[in-house]
Amino acid sequence: MADLSTQTGGIRSPNPFWLASAPPANSGAQIQRAFDAGWGGAVWKTLGTPIQNVSSRFGGHAIGNARGAGFNNIELITDRPLEVNFREIAETKKRWPHNPIIASLMVETREEWREIIKRSIDAGADGLELNFGCPHGMCERGMGSAVGQEPAVNERITSWACEFSTVPVLVKLTPNVSDIVPHGMAAKRGGAHGVSLINTIKSIIAVDIDRFVPEPRVGSLSTNGGYCGAAVKPIALHMVAALAREPGFGLPISGIGGVRNWRDAVEFMLLGSSTVQVCTEVMLRGYRVVEDMRDGLEEYMHSKGFTRVQDMVGKAVPAFSEWGDLDMNYETVARINADTCIGCQLCIAACHDGAHQCIHPQEGTRVPRIDESECVGCNLCQIVCPSPGCITMDRVDNGHPPATWNDHVNHGATLRPKKGSH
Amino acid sequence: MPAEFPVERSETAFTDYKLPLSPAQAAVEAGRCLFCHDAPCVTACPTHIDIPQFIRKIANGNDRGAAKTIFESNILGMSCARVCPVEVLCVGACVYNDLDEPPIQIGKLQRHATDRAFDEGWRFFKAGAPTGRRVALVGGGPASLAAAHELRRLGHACTIFERRDFLGGLNTTGIAPHKLKADRSVTEAAWVLEIGGVELRTGAEIGRDVSLADLERDFDAVFVGIGLGADSRAKVPGEDLPGVLGAVDWIERMKLGDAGLAGVRRAVVVGAGNTAMDAARELLALGVPQVTTLYRGTEDAMGGYAHEWRAARVAGVRAEWRAVTTAFEGAGRLERLRCVRVDEARTPVAGSQFTLEADLALLAIGQSRLGAVLAGLKGITVESGIVRVDAHGFTGRPGWYAGGDCANGGKEVVNAAAEGMAAARAIDRALAAGGGIGRKEVPRG
Ligand SMILES: Cc1cc2nc3c(=O)[nH]c(=O)nc-3n(C[C@H](O)[C@H](O)[C@H](O)COP(=O)(O)OP(=O)(O)OC[C@H]3O[C@@H](n4cnc5c(N)ncnc54)[C@H](O)[C@@H]3O)c2cc1C
Ligand SMILES: Cc1cc2nc3c(=O)[nH]c(=O)nc-3n(C[C@H](O)[C@H](O)[C@H](O)COP(=O)(O)O)c2cc1C
Ligand code: SF4
């Protein structure tokens, strides 16, 4: 079977699944249970000058029956005394020497960084993660995303950490920026051995429409929180991939954001993550979700002939390109398999109201007809179709050689005529 | 299709009562599972399959991993998915029942994953490193198959002694064909034995062809999984008439060959256990126009599951409650049953005699017990034909273990699988600790 061992920035792990720095990695007892369940590593709940938390502090975004499809929190860093955390790191390392523990850190001054890094390494941390990402509470105090949003500050603090540390340093990036690349580059200039992303996204999860207060509600007030869970995966994937394909970057990546199962993990890995971190799915369902993450990844690697994690890391990065480099003459049309069509006609509504008005009802059958001469190949009908595999997007040969927008603009390459009368 | 069964058998007329899920249905159903902590369905399953975990794997598109999780706990997971009374086991325990929402269709999801494993030829288990120890398994039913598979994983050489010339026990000869057909059970047995290292001695009956002394001489341990015996007799005049049969006996004929129903217009099934329910539904389905069950107790006291009786009733089975038969009568073959009503104390009610016309009567009032075959082995207790064992299947005589119907008095396939597996582990622990046949050490669980 495939070998699941991997490493990010020199931090070795028996498998790519790490607990993200968050409540599931709050204490030694929890992390030891997680290792028992099969987790590869854990990024300890962020250490710093202990704070106090509010209640309540979490909010869930249900989409239909999917409770917790999105999740947010207004929790801060650890609220437990530092010496307790360090003692538990040491105990956990003693019992689980081969599972990496990464100390997530957030302090202010150079002296504080020196001190907390020394204590973390003395306790046995295998690596550090600099939390430059928390989008609430800590940033108002000049930490968290306040650091992550300023490349110069990020670079300076990273360089301090790298100066003081004898173990690998990962920088955890905030997604609350317009372009992730300069921030990854700042971490690199500061000397980081890798980056972790994403932290949570600034959000208001919901509003209590009877009390006129946003959620989560603390008495009569609320505040903005960090958004995470399944719903943020697309944003996280993009940020991971944007760094992975940046020519001058090249640092290892620990991917985070909405990982629920092995498939999500595989997607992060194909876009350049050598490990993945999970918070929300563990909060919602417990540590044992890791069983299928490992099992499914192993089955997947076996089916694809990958023997080591490294064989697959970044495999989809070359296919993540610029719009201007896409082949404008590549053409698909939607086709309906009448045998598997159940006649719901969701595709008619979608195409008529949301696309190009080319799916039509037919006399004597509920199976719609697609006018292929009008179909622009947008995918919308396939996305709404509830019958698996019923609508396919089929390539059609229009006789036009490949031509990108850039070819067209720069060299006058001929583009196929715009399709559809609408 | 094993050579010994004819292709045309009465049972092949049956279609599945519970339909399999399409992949799309399986995905939707799996997506509904709440992934409960300390899940009640797992507790309710005698083999404790990690149900939430295998369902999650289906939901995540990992059918192969799901099948592995199932077989890890229950190597007979394919047949159990079809034959288990899930209504009173896992599905009955699903927390959705308390929300008044439909419970998760665990049996169907299990069938989805395990059928796929059979279809795709997936294999999961390897034999353990040889220990040099030899274990005999008496009987080739579910209990022995589960035990043999686990023993092979642990590296012990196995020999199965089965008096018939095919494997599977009642899973092959007894299960209602709308759940599982004989050839599928035999296929499963062969699949289980693909782990290798299991010698098969079919046509070998312990106590007749092979003696207990032979077993004690040749093996380090013995697992007894001989199930139950022939149908019990009613001890009523006329029961030797042609047209009066044991229900399990008739079911076997129906499954392996011809049910012999030509000319049968009215049938009576005596009893109200699950065998009676199965037989009655099978008779109706095979075209007998009128099928009546006759039971000495009330509907509330019947031994069969409520869900089975409901299905039988819906199919058109009639019932006579609080009545017993006093004689089977007919000129040369069965024509009628003389019956009488009984009261709560089961004493006949004066003047309540009645007659049921019938061309066929099936006795479904229990099966005989075979424990006597072990009589004479010091240390083994046989009570009313049931072999007494502890929680690990140990009989009290070093090296001798038992499980399944012969030790539990007659339960389900999944109990036989669980008990076979538990006994295999106990045998392994005992052998590792220097126990076994002829040793002083009494193994501890
Ligand atoms: C009609 C009927 C319907 C049933 N339906 C269901 C159902 O739907 N679901 C369910 O879960 N369970 C059902 N059961 C119960 C289930 O079949 C049994 O619980 C299960 O098969 C028991 O397995 P076992 O291995 O203990 O015994 P068996 O299956 O009885 O196997 C025992 C084997 O030992 C062999 N044997 C006996 N004596 C000797 C000897 N001296 N030497 C060598 N071999 C010997 C027999 O030939 C047989 O092959 C049903 C039972 C009956 C009778
Ligand atoms: C309740 C909660 C507390 C968190 N606390 C921290 C923290 O202390 N330090 C940190 O770096 N990230 C923290 N995070 C962010 C997570 O580590 C992670 O980056 C984010 O939740 C995205 O992953 P997910 O979609 O798997 O939850 C927290 C997230 C949640 C939900
Ligand atoms: S999850 Fe636990 S700590 Fe949180 S509100 Fe519920 S009971 Fe309290």
Residues B219, B308: one domain? Answer: no
Query: Of the residues A134, A351, A381, A385, which is catalytic?
Result: A134
CATH code for position B31: 1.10.1060.10
Ligand nearest to the CA of B210: 1
Q: What's the mean pLDDT in A114-120?
A: 98
Q: Report which protein residue has its CA nearest ligand 1's atom 26.
A: B404
| Cross-chain Cβ contact A288/B53 below 8 Å | yes
Nearest residue of B to residue A290 by CA position? B53
Within a domain: residue A17?
yes
Residues A263, A199: one domain? Answer: yes
Please state the atom number of ligand 2 nearest to the C-alpha of residue A199: 19
Contacts of A292 in chain B (CB under 8 A): 53, 56-57, 60, 62, 65
Residues A336, A309: one domain? Answer: no
Choosing among A295, A304, A337, A342, which should be mutated to test the B contact, i.e. which has the most B CBs within 10 A?
A295
Catalytic (active site) residue A341: no
Q: Is ligand 1 within 6 A of the CB of residue B159?
A: no
| Amino acid A324: pLDDT | 97
Q: How far is B47 from chain A (nearest CA, A)?
A: 20
Residues B248, B342: one domain? Answer: yes
Which residue in A286, A292, A296 is closest to B37 by CB distance? Answer: A286
Task: Give CA angle at A12 (A11, A15), nearest 5°.
Answer: 125
| Cross-chain Cβ contact B23/A299 below 8 Å | no
DSSP H helices in A60-216: 82-95, 110-123, 145-148, 151-164, 181-189
Please state the atom number of ligand 1 nearest to the C-alpha of residue B139: 34
Cβ-based neighbours of A9, under 8 Å, separated by 6 or more: A127, A168, A169, A170, A192, A193, A194, A251, A252
Instruction: Please state, in angstroms and rounded to a whole number, the distance separating the CA atoms of residues B235 and A220.
Output: 81
Residues B326, B340: one domain? Answer: yes
Residues A170, A297: one domain? Answer: yes
Q: Does B62 touch chain A (CB under 8 A)?
A: yes
Residue range A264-310, pLDDT digits in tens: 999 999 999 999 999 999 999 999 999 999 999 999 999 999 999 99
3-state secondary structure of A306: coil
Instruction: Please state, in angstroms and rounded to a whole number, the distance separating the CA atoms of residues B179 and A107.
Output: 65
Place of tokens 């090296």: B399
Domain range holding A371?
A: 323-411
Domain range holding B163?
A: 134-227+370-432
Residue range A328-362, pLDDT digits in tens: 999 999 999 999 999 999 999 999 999 999 999 99
Structure ipTM over 0.95, yes or no: no
Instruction: Please state, in angstroms and rounded to a whole number, the distance separating the CA atoms of residues A185 and A250.
Output: 10
User: pLDDT confidence of A419, banded at 50, 70, 90?
Assistant: confident
**Which two tokens mark A286?**
């417990």
Instruction: Please state, in angstroms and rounded to a whole number, the distance separating the CA atoms of residues B438 and B377.
Output: 12
Domain-terminating residue out of B57, B84, B119: B119
Residues A194, A232: one domain? Answer: yes
Q: Does A289 touch chain B (CB under 8 A)?
A: yes
Pocket perturbation via mutation, ligand 1, pick of B226, B369, B386 by most ligand atoms within 8 A of CB: B226
Domain-terminating residue out of A319, A338, A362: A319
Please state the atom number of ligand 2 nearest to the C-alpha of residue A282: 26
Within a domain: residue A86?
yes
Domain-terminating residue out of B331, B366, B401: B366
- Distance between Cα A58 and ligand 2 center (Å): 11
Residues A358, A309: one domain? Answer: no
Residues A348, A277: one domain? Answer: no
Within a domain: residue B169?
yes
Q: Is ligand 2 within 6 A of the CB of residue A374?
A: no
Q: Check residue B232 and report its DSSP letter.
A: P
CATH code for position A17: 3.20.20.70
Q: Report which protein residue has its CA nearest ligand 2's atom 6.
A: A22
Within a domain: residue B263?
yes
| Cross-chain Cβ contact A263/B37 below 8 Å | no
Residues A281, A369: one domain? Answer: no
Q: Does A87 touch chain B (CB under 8 A)?
A: no
Residue range A223-255, pLDDT digits in tens: 999 999 999 999 999 999 999 999 999 999 999
Within a domain: residue A349?
yes
Residues B88, B181: one domain? Answer: no
Residues B150, B26: one domain? Answer: no
Residues A285, A405: one domain? Answer: no
Contacts of A295 in chain B (CB under 8 A): 57, 62, 65, 68
Q: What's the mean pLDDT in A47-67?
A: 93
Residues A289, A347: one domain? Answer: no
| Amino acid B1: pLDDT | 40
Q: Report which protein residue has its CA nearest ligand 1's atom 23.
A: B142
Contacts of B60 in chain A (CB under 8 A): 261-263, 292, 296
Q: Is ligand 2 within 6 A of the CB of residue A45?
A: yes
What are the helix and strand counts (H, E) for chain B?
16, 17
- Distance between Cα B290 and ligand 3 center (Å): 60
Q: Does B25 touch chain A (CB under 8 A)?
A: no
HSE of B225, CA atoms in CB hemisphere, 13 A: 37
CATH code for position A342: 3.30.70.20
Residues A331, A311: one domain? Answer: no
What is the domain count for chain B?
Answer: 3
Which residue in A286, A299, A388 is closest to B24 by CB distance? Answer: A388
Within a domain: residue A416?
no
What is the domain count for chain A?
Answer: 2
Write out the DSSP string of B290-351. Answer: EEEEE-SS-GGG-SS-HHHHHHHHHHT-EEE-SEEEEEEE-SSS--EEEEEEB-TT-PBPTT
Residues B78, B107: one domain? Answer: yes
| Amino acid A122: pLDDT | 98
CA nearest neighbour of B55 among B83, B85, B94: B94
Contacts of B57 in chain A (CB under 8 A): 292, 295-296
Q: Is ligand 1 within 6 A of the CB of residue B65?
A: no
| Amino acid A144: pLDDT | 76
Name residues of chain B where pLDDT drops below 70: 1-3, 440-445
Residue A134 has pLDDT above 90, yes or no: no
Q: Is ligand 2 within 6 A of the CB of residue A296?
A: no
Taking one residue from A and the other from B, the number of pairs with CB-CB distance under 8 angstroms is: 35
Contact between residue B70 and residue B77 where contact means Cβ atoms under 8 Å apart: yes
| Amino acid B140: pLDDT | 98
Residues B275, B149: one domain? Answer: no
Domain-terminating residue out of A269, A291, A319: A319
Contact between residue A134 and residue A175 where contact means Cβ atoms under 8 Å apart: no
Domain-terminating residue out of B319, B339, B366: B366
Domain-terminating residue out of A271, A297, A319: A319
Which residue in A285, A286, A292 is closest to B57 by CB distance? Answer: A292
Q: Does B425 touch chain A (CB under 8 A)?
A: no
Which residue type, as a one-letter code, is found at position A288? R
User: Cis link prior to A216 (omega < 30° from 0)?
Assistant: yes
Contacts of A261 in chain B (CB under 8 A): 56, 60
| Cross-chain Cβ contact B56/A292 below 8 Å | yes
Please state the atom number of ligand 1 nearest to the C-alpha of residue B84: 11
Nearest residue of B to residue A65 by CA position? B32
Contact between residue B334 and residue B359 where contact means Cβ atoms under 8 Å apart: yes
HSE of A402, CA atoms in CB hemisphere, 13 A: 5
3-state secondary structure A37-73: HCCCEEEEEEECCCCCCCCCCEEEEEECCEEEEEEEE
Q: Does B64 touch chain A (CB under 8 A)?
A: yes
Q: Is ligand 2 within 6 A of the CB of residue A60?
A: no
Q: Spell B320-349 as b/e; 16+ CB within 10 A means b.
A: bbbbbbbebebeeebbbbbbbbbeeeeeee
Residues A206, A268: one domain? Answer: yes
Pocket perturbation via mutation, ligand 2, pick of A56, A147, A200, A253 by most ligand atoms within 8 A of CB: A200
Within a domain: residue A420?
no
Which residue type, as a one-letter code, is found at position B388? R
Q: What's the mean pLDDT in A51-61?
A: 95
CA nearest neighbour of A204 among A227, A236, A176, A232: A227
